[in-house]
Amino acid sequence: MRVILTAEAEADLVHTRDWYDTEAPGIGQRFMIEYRVLAEQLADNPRLYPVMRRDIRRAGFRRFPYGLFFRIRGEVVEIFACLHGSRSPRHWQHRAQ
């Protein structure tokens, strides 16, 4: 399957990478490496990840408290949010509409 990012999800990733880099140089790069690994796993088997609500699924990062929120549309995995686990579900629910 092909994985695509919405503009909002891409902005989430950039913001998070930049924030981690301000905390300690190189951590932002590690965050992005983990994102790429997770995106490859989504391309291989997106149904591996649990349904959160209707057709929305969440794939969690291993070393960071973030999740990718996505939906499967035919042969495309659309990631529409990358959010911290402590954020209110309203953030991803709003984007899912």
pLDDT tens figures, 17-59: 999 999 999 999 999 999 999 999 999 999 999 999 999 999 9
pLDDT tens figures, 8-19: 999 999 999 999
Residue 55 near residue 69, CB atoms below 8 Å: no
Sketch the domain layout of the chain as residue ranges: 2-96
pLDDT of residue 90: 75
* Mean predicted lDDT score pLDDT of the chain: 94
Query: For residue 30, with 0-12 CB atoms within 10 Å meaning exposed, 13-18 middle and 19 or more buried, which class applies?
Result: middle
CATH architecture for residues 2-96: 2-Layer Sandwich (3.30)
Enumerate residues 6+ apart whose C-beta is below 8 A from 26: none
pLDDT of residue 80: 95
Indicate if the pLDDT at residue 89 is higher than 80: no
Look at residues 58, 60, 61, 87 and name the one whose alpha carbon lies nearest to residue 70.
58
